[in-house]
Amino acid sequence: MIYLWAFLVGGAICVIGQLMFDVLALTPAHTMSTLVVLGAAADAFGLYDPLVKFAGAGASVPITSFGNSLVHGALTELQRDGWVGVVTGIFDVTSAGISSAIVFSFLAALVVRPKG
Amino acid sequence: MPAKTKKSGVKLRLDTMTPQDYEKLSKPFVPSRPVFKNCIRAFLSGGLICVLGQAIQEAFMAIFDMSSREASSPTVAVLILLSVILTSFGVYDKLAQWCGAGTAVPVTGFANSMCSAALEHRAEGLVLGVGGNMFKLAGSVIVFGVVAAFVVGVVYAVMGWGGTH
């Protein structure tokens, strides 16, 4: 059942992105930035976690979850370490995504000859 | 007196034409985007990528006995690895032609933007090319995400709210 919800919710978030491309005529960079901020805002109101519980990867794979994770890291360390946690905690949860994207992309650039 | 077109009432003289006039004139000739078709494609492809992510996550949970939260980081890493491999073979960008936002919105699209920027600028060297351009597209996502998270964190700190939900 979680697979069905992952499909439906993940697909729906992508449709929102597509509508921003086509109807609002935003560039990909504007669209992605907006979605990340939306994800951060949703977590600020405590709305994103229930969505992840409900839709699994349907909510955690789209880029909105990146905003969610940034806020999550900041708030978790805020509670644990006080004020300074807001700054030290931001990349806490998203480190896996950003680090692996940097490392794999760098390795690809070492090995692959660009096409076209 | 410059001639005016019947419909739009826009001046036809090129030397006095403003960009707004040009947009008005050319609008009927710009092909309209097939919004509905694009949305269906984005829905199907984006949904499938999330199902794949769910399958990878469940595999981590089953094999390494992780909770769903612990499993989400390695899941993202595997998806990013897949995306980088497909980008390296030029497959991801072909898929993206068909899928639109369906391949751009998932985290795989984030990795694709970094990897293709790294490959594209490889010829300019590792430091100035790869290092300097990798975040050309992905950078704005990180900047706005971090600023938003910082604002939320400060609001929570000032209001004295607890951190976790």
B108 contact partners, CB below 8 Å, separation of at least 6? A61, B49, B79, B80, B82, B83, B92
- d(CA A6, CA B111) in angstroms, rounded, equals 20
CA distance A30 to chain B (A): 8
Counting residues of chain A whose pLDDT is more than 90, the rounded percentage is 62
ipTM of the modeled complex: 0.90
pLDDT at B150 > cutoff 80: yes
Q: What pLDDT does B67 receive?
A: 87
Number of H helices, E strands in chain A: 7, 0
CB contact under 8 A, A29 and B140: yes
Give B41's contacts in chain A (Cβ within 8 Å): 18
pLDDT at A18 > cutoff 80: yes
Q: What pLDDT does B17 receive?
A: 73
pTM over 0.80: yes
Whole-number CA gyration radius for chain A: 16
At B21-39, the pLDDT tens digits run 877 878 778 777 788 889 9
Q: What pLDDT does B162 receive?
A: 66
Q: What pLDDT does B87 receive?
A: 92
Q: What pLDDT does B26 receive?
A: 80
At B40-94, the pLDDT tens digits run 999 999 999 999 999 999 999 999 988 888 888 899 999 999 999 999 998 999 9
Query: Which residue type does A93 have?
Result: V
Average pLDDT (A11-24) is 93
Query: Which residue type does A103 have?
Result: V
Task: Provide the mean pLDDT of chain A.
Answer: 90
At A24-73, the pLDDT tens digits run 988 889 999 999 999 999 999 989 999 999 999 999 999 999 999 999 99
CB contact under 8 A, B54 and A3: yes
Counting residues of chain B whose pLDDT is more than 90, the rounded percentage is 52
CB contact under 8 A, A7 and B47: yes
Nearest residue to A74 (alpha-carbon basis) of A99, A52, A92, A97: A92
CB contact under 8 A, B51 and A10: yes
Whole-number CA gyration radius for chain B: 23
pLDDT confidence band for B1 (50 / 70 / 90): very low
pLDDT at A15 > cutoff 90: yes
The number of beta carbons lying within 10 Å of the beta carbon of residue B130 is 22
- d(CA A31, CA B33) in angstroms, rounded, equals 17
At B68-83, the pLDDT tens digits run 888 888 999 999 999 9
Token representation of residue B78: 């595997």
CB contact under 8 A, A10 and B50: yes
pLDDT confidence band for A99 (50 / 70 / 90): very high
B46 contact partners, CB below 8 Å, separation of at least 6? A10, A11, A13, A14, A15, A17, A62, B99, B101, B102, B103, B105, B106
Question: Which among B80, B143, B163 is the nearest to A76, CB-wise?
Answer: B163
B140 touches chain A (CB under 8 A): yes
Dihedral over alpha carbons A53, A55, A57, A63 (to 10 degrees): -100
CA distance A54 to chain B (A): 12
Contact at 8 Å (CB) between A55 and A8?
yes
- d(CA A2, CA B76) in angstroms, rounded, equals 18
Determine whether B34 is exposed, middle or buried from the number of CB atoms within 10 Å of its CB (0-12, 13-18, 19+). Answer: exposed
